[in-house]
Amino acid sequence: MATWETLIIPPSVWNADHMREACQKRDVAGILRAVQRGTGASQTQLAMATGILQGRISEILRGTRTVTAFEVFERIADGLAMPDETRVLLGLAPVHPSGLDHLGPIGRAEMLAAYRSQADATPEIRQAASTAQRIDILAVRGLGIIGMNDSLLRATVAQNRPVFRALLLDPDSAAARRRAAEVGESHESFASGVSLCVARLRELREQTGAQVEVYFYDMLPTWRVLALDDVQFVSAFGEEHEGHTSPMYKIAASAHGALHRGFRRFTDELRAQSRQVI
């Protein structure tokens, strides 16, 4: 049972399936209801813990107010002392200073940070890219990453000329047609975006001498990976969102961690099975 002074939320509440699902969906009403069920907390206690007016807590629980502001997600997570694993599900960075230590005593944490979207991770991505000697990307069209003048990594690759390898979706594949339908585009429009990125990468190589390789894969896009030397920024493609709009995670190599090693193996094997076009 919650106390009036401090809202004590046991681990079982955070680990419950309905809580994890609510966090993944950013369903604040679902999160608050799960806390109420697990602790007996009143709306007033939730308001006191989160610093949100009781009237607004009531509106959220009734479904007449929707939370979309990042700072409100942070306030709720902080006020409820949300554990790092649950914060990451919600799309927030972990509080643990060395990352999300999901490995416990057996090894260094490999998930260093979580971001609401690529926009929040952009400063760290560009900083890591500025010193990277090797950059590997797994994307769909890649225009926002490398294809346009103001894209995420183009200026860095042009200036520093690291080894740059891109895995892009084969515009002539059945997977490209399916992805085009998912994002509401014609196949012709979708495929032209991939072709434009390839042309721009060819220009980049010819104009700057950058070491550029491009490969076409033909499976439905799931993961979006920016690997800058040994640091990976990973997000996912879904039926209703693009990779740059989904939560993004910063992952580093760790002696006992599976994520970094798994994504590296996946991208290396995909490249080995793909068709090189540049």
Q: Rounded to the nearest 5 degrees, what angle is found at the Cα of 243, between the Cα atoms of 73 and 189? A: 135
**Averaged confidence pLDDT in the chain:** 88
Percent of the chain with pLDDT over 70: 91
Q: To which residue do tokens 């260093």 refer? A: 112
> So what's the pLDDT on residue 46?
93
Q: What is the pLDDT of residues 206-225, one digit of tens each?
A: 999 999 999 999 999 999 99
Residue 161 to residues 132, 133, 158, Cα–Cα distance (Å):
9, 8, 6
- For residue 86, the model assigns a pLDDT of 87
Q: Is pLDDT of 63 > 70?
A: yes
Question: What is the CATH code for 11-92?
Answer: 1.10.260
The domain made up of 111-276 has a fold known as: Endonuclease; Chain A (3.30.870)
> According to the model, what pLDDT value does residue 243 have?
74
- State mean pLDDT over 152-159: 94
Structure tokens at 194: 């991939």
Per mean pLDDT, which range of 32-41, 66-75, 153-162, 266-275 is the poorest?
Answer: 66-75
pLDDT band at residue 6 under the 50/70/90 scheme? low
Helices 28-39 and 43-50 cross at an angle (nearest 10°) of 120
| pLDDT tens-digit readout, 13-24 | 998 999 999 998
pLDDT value at residue 108: 52
CA distance 226 to 29: 33
Q: Which of 94-103, 138-147, 202-211, 269-278 has the lowest mean pLDDT?
A: 94-103
Q: Structure tokens of 54?
A: 């009781």
Pick the closest to residue 182 from 244, 241, 236, 247 (CA basis). Answer: 241
- Half-sphere exposure of residue 180: CA atoms within 13 angstroms, side-chain side: 19
Q: Residue ranges of the domains in the chain? A: 11-92, 111-276
pLDDT digits (tens, 9 = 90+) for 102-151: 544 444 557 788 888 888 899 999 999 999 999 999 999 999 999 999 99
Q: What is the per-residue pLDDT across 245-267, written as a single tens digit (0 to 9) for each?
A: 888 889 988 766 788 889 999 99
The answer to whether 47 touches 92, Cβ cutoff 8 Å, is no
Considering only CA atoms, which of 24, 77, 32, 26 is closest in space to residue 58?
Answer: 32
**In which band, very low, low, confident or very high, does the pLDDT at 92 lie, cut at 50, 70 and 90?**
confident
Region 165-194 average pLDDT: 96
Q: Give percent of the chain with pLDDT exceeding 90.
A: 63
Asked if domains 11-92 and 111-276 share a fold, the reply is no
What is the pTM for the complete model shown? 0.65
Residue 275 has what pLDDT? 97
Q: Has residue 4 got a pLDDT over 50?
A: no
Taking 50 as the threshold, does the pLDDT of residue 1 lie above it? no
CB 175 within 8 A of CB 222: no
Question: Helix, strand, or coil here: 263?
Answer: helix
